[in-house]
Structure 1
Amino acid sequence: MMCLPPEVRADLGRFLATLEASSSIGKGRESGLCRLTLTESDRQMRDLFVQWCHEAGLRVTVDGIGSIFARRDGTEDLPPVLVGSHLDTQENGGRFDGIVGVLGALEVVRRLNDLGVATRRPIEIVNWTNEEGARFSPPMVASGCFVGDYALDWALGLKDAQGTTIGQALEVIGYRGEAAVGGREIDSYFELHIEQGDVLDRTSHEVGIVTHAYSSHGMLVEYRGETAHTGPWPMAKRKNALVAGARLLVAVDDLGWQHAETGGKATAARLSASPNKAGLLSDWAEAVCDVRHEDPEVAELMRIKMLRAVGEAGIRAGCEYRVLDQWSWGGDIFDKAMVDHVRDAVEKLGLNGLELPSQAGHDAYFLAKHVPTAMIFTPCKDGITHNNNELATPDMLEPGLNVLLHAVMARADRP
């Protein structure tokens, strides 16, 4: 097995140049991005990414849900080491969330090319489709399909607010690929990501060694009521679906405050209603909410309370209700040997690392249930993320990028 000497580092300037190019595509609010998945700006970013991969000598394939894979062959016919994240952003997104992981993986391959270093196992960069879930809910759809947790036909049929399906959007931008979605052997998966929290920044640690994840539970709920005139219709006869959804989300927010002192969080993420017009009660509403806690037992208790609130909100508003979808992820999911690769790289490079949990959802969560997986965190300024003020400076990014380089090399060239 070949190990890179500790003095070998990624080309930070080249990495920052690719990051700057990404930051010019799909601009949103000042210093931020609005690059929603499968939009024109996403197509432009994908095209540029594919161009960079071809220039690096990689073989590019696109699967049936639009995830892009760029393969650097190994010296032996072995399952590949996947490295990546996502290039789509939130509506008011930052320049680093997800993007650092994809472009960091590209820099790893470029640096190995510079050095003329071959690995026993292939290395594949991956850009997952619709990680954010900002346009199509739920998030992390493509990685869920890849490991078989979601059915491909179901995912392709998911609709955005305008009624466009994922399948239609893929056709429009030309990224509905022919490669099979999953169904092949993978050696392992690495994901480099900004922390999306302030622990590393607040404690002045250079890099995060992710040991486990908060247990998270979410759901999509539908309420059905009855339209009526807001003036004359008596309160006792009202069946306002908008009110039912609102009551649920307030109850979920209260649930988060009940567990806040121990690090629990609950999110009222989205409320859609129709007709949603002044002077008219809405007869339909959909609500998205989630809860999370580091302690799986507490997270499960929060999930049960959230589910109970669904019915209580519907009954109070006089509406029918049903849970359309539920999802769970997180917990003690990361492979110990993979975490050791990260830990060893941190020690080898003499960096100030911190072991910590991941609190946000990532594609790595789906992969971790099926293949050995590890995550590496870089600090981000004040923990601000999903916001145009999201900031990870070069000094914050460089240590994690170098840890990724050395950890991937160790994994891909092991006996």
Structure 2
Amino acid sequence: MSVTDTTPELTIDADRLWSDLMELAAIGAYDDEATGLVGVNRQSLTDEDRAGRELLLSWMEELDLGITVDEMGTIFGRREGQDPELAPVLIGSHIDTVATAGAFDGCLGVLGGLAVLRSFDEAGLRPRRPIVVAAWTEEEGVRFGTDMLGSAVAAGRLSLDHAYGLTDAEGHRLGDELERIGFKGERPVRLDPPHAYLECHIEQGPVLAQEDRQIGVVTGVQSISWQKVTLHGRAAHAGTTPTELRIDAGLAAAQIIVEVRRMVDSGAYGRLRATVGHIGASPGLPSVVPDRAEITVDLRNPDDEDMARAEADLAEFLDRLPTSQPGLRVETAQMARTKAVPFSEAVQDTIETAAKDRGYDSMRIMSGAGHDAQEMAAIAPAAMVFVRGQHQGISHNPREYSTPEDCAAGIEVLASAVKELSA
């Protein structure tokens, strides 16, 4: 018999959840000139991240959770079950942000996890399995160049030494920054497989709003490839150097940008999406031909074979690029690479049933963004709850927004699913 048949319904304190989201968003808040709104810049292992972590710890202490911090700085808050020897149900997400964030990306999943534990306490419900809430380190990957980093090391895809050696744009090592902010923990980073992993997240896209559904049952995450391309040319006077004698790194960067868009528009690679998110050139002077340019190429595809063909064809284009400018040198470095990850059908069914029992319209949906759930799916049954966003689902932008009602709906579904899985 399902635990939902014999125990009272869990109630989420929607006002407290919203208050927590807004209080956390105040840490790293800044005035965004482009939107006229207040954004959030709380990148991983910065002073702002430390302040956010300390606030999270205070809320975990209020709930009397068993708190541990692993070697990657990931924070775990454990609510004991009737049988402490059983593998726990793990709820996770992140509180680090990109430089131009809103209040919801990642944070909803972590603070929603605490809201779920409050609801268990208020209902006097103690399931058989422990329940753990995790706040993973460096999910966004914007500072140290590798997304889902904390969960990737915990699941064993990346090594701890590799992670510690990563550096930011100023040359600061991740391991050193963990020590600096006081969150280089002692808990071994390799995670024992949980019974199940759940994550609630704002959709970061327009589908739920377009379909007028409150809840998304996430079927998996598409393949993601990040690479940095550095182009080495030759600086020259912009007025006196004939075009045919130039080795223009800026021109080469522009050719790559046009090529990746052509690849998408061609339709030859399935549902490929491609983005050049970073563009830099030196010496950066109006009267000098650039001698160096650096760009990042982000490729995403729900089909691994289509992704592999896109990567191979882009590599071939980069190999041919110097033929148009003899002397040009192209250097590439893979920043991140993950295959498409399907989520557990059983956990998806549990989420779908929870939404139906709560009276919410739901739909199955694949995630276009990467999430810690894809790393946990390698070691445990995992799935995600998506919450509807506003403004066409925009994210990584201060305009990112979900209503208090939709946030509460997602966490209510999360609570029901956790209750079922932890029984």
Question: What is the TM-score with the length of structure 1 in the denominator?
Answer: 0.92
Deviations 1:267-310 (A, max 9, x none): 11213344434444444443221222334433333222222233
Deviations 1:105-139 (A, max 9, x none): 11111111222211222211111111112222122
1:114 counterpart = 2:114: no
The residue number in structure 2 matching 1:18 is 20
8 A Cα contact 1:6 1:348, kept in partner:
no
- Shift in Å, 1:142: 1.4
Deviations 1:158-213 (A, max 9, x none): 22222222222222221122222124232221110011111111111110011133
Residue pairs, 1:4-403, within 5 angstroms: 5=7, 7-28=9-30, 29=32, 30-76=37-83, 77-259=85-267, 263-317=271-325, 318-325=327-334, 327-381=336-390, 382-403=392-413
Specify whether residues 179 and 319 from structure 1 end up closer, same or farther in structure 2 by C-alpha distance, changes over 3 A only: farther
Specify whether residues 293 and 113 from structure 1 end up closer, same or farther in structure 2 by C-alpha distance, changes over 3 A only: same
Letter in 2 for 1:398: A
8 A Cα contact 1:86 1:128, kept in partner:
yes
Deviations 1:91-117 (A, max 9, x none): 111111111011111111111122221
Letter in 1 for 2:209: D
Deviations 1:198-241 (A, max 9, x none): 11111111100111333333322333344444444454444344
Q: Distance in 1 between matches of 2:81 and 2:375?
A: 25
8 A Cα contact 2:153 2:189, kept in partner:
yes
8 A Cα contact 1:329 1:366, kept in partner:
no
8 A Cα contact 1:37 1:135, kept in partner:
yes
- Shift in Å, 1:362: 1.1
Q: Distance in 2 between matches of 1:121 and 1:246?
A: 54
Letter in 2 for 1:96: F
Segments of structure 2 that go 5 or more residues without pairing to the other structure are none
Letter in 2 for 1:56: L
8 A Cα contact 2:341 2:374, kept in partner:
no
Secondary structure of the residue aligned to 1:253 is helix
Q: Distance in 2 between matches of 1:187 and 1:220?
A: 37
Specify whether residues 286 and 178 from structure 1 end up closer, same or farther in structure 2 by C-alpha distance, changes over 3 A only: farther
Q: Distance in 2 between matches of 1:151 and 1:273?
A: 32
Q: Distance in 1 between matches of 2:302 and 2:347?
A: 21
Q: Distance in 2 between matches of 1:127 and 1:193?
A: 13
Q: Distance in 2 between matches of 1:300 and 1:386?
A: 27
8 A Cα contact 2:249 2:328, kept in partner:
yes
8 A Cα contact 2:18 2:404, kept in partner:
yes
Deviates further, 39-48 or 361-370: 361-370
Specify whether residues 287 and 314 from structure 1 end up closer, same or farther in structure 2 by C-alpha distance, changes over 3 A only: farther
Deviates further, 248-257 or 386-395: 248-257
Specify whether residues 165 and 281 from structure 1 end up closer, same or farther in structure 2 by C-alpha distance, changes over 3 A only: farther
Q: Distance in 2 between matches of 1:31 and 1:153?
A: 37
8 A Cα contact 2:269 2:310, kept in partner:
no
Secondary structure of the residue aligned to 2:364 is strand
Letter in 2 for 1:73: E
- Shift in Å, 1:261: 11
Specify whether residues 359 and 20 from structure 1 end up closer, same or farther in structure 2 by C-alpha distance, changes over 3 A only: same
Secondary structure of the residue aligned to 1:35 is coil
8 A Cα contact 2:103 2:400, kept in partner:
yes
8 A Cα contact 1:217 1:329, kept in partner:
yes
8 A Cα contact 1:88 1:132, kept in partner:
yes
Deviations 1:319-361 (A, max 9, x none): 2223321533353520111112111211222221111111111
- Shift in Å, 1:12: 1.0
Please tell me the root mean square deviation across aligned C-alpha atoms, in Å.
2.3
Among candidates 383, 405, 408, match of residue 415 of structure 2: 405
- Shift in Å, 1:44: 0.8
Q: Distance in 1 between matches of 2:407 and 2:285?
A: 47
Question: What is the TM-score with the length of structure 2 in the denominator?
Answer: 0.90
8 A Cα contact 1:133 1:140, kept in partner:
yes
Specify whether residues 243 and 66 from structure 1 end up closer, same or farther in structure 2 by C-alpha distance, changes over 3 A only: farther
Specify whether residues 25 and 260 from structure 1 end up closer, same or farther in structure 2 by C-alpha distance, changes over 3 A only: farther
Q: Distance in 2 between matches of 1:79 and 1:281?
A: 60
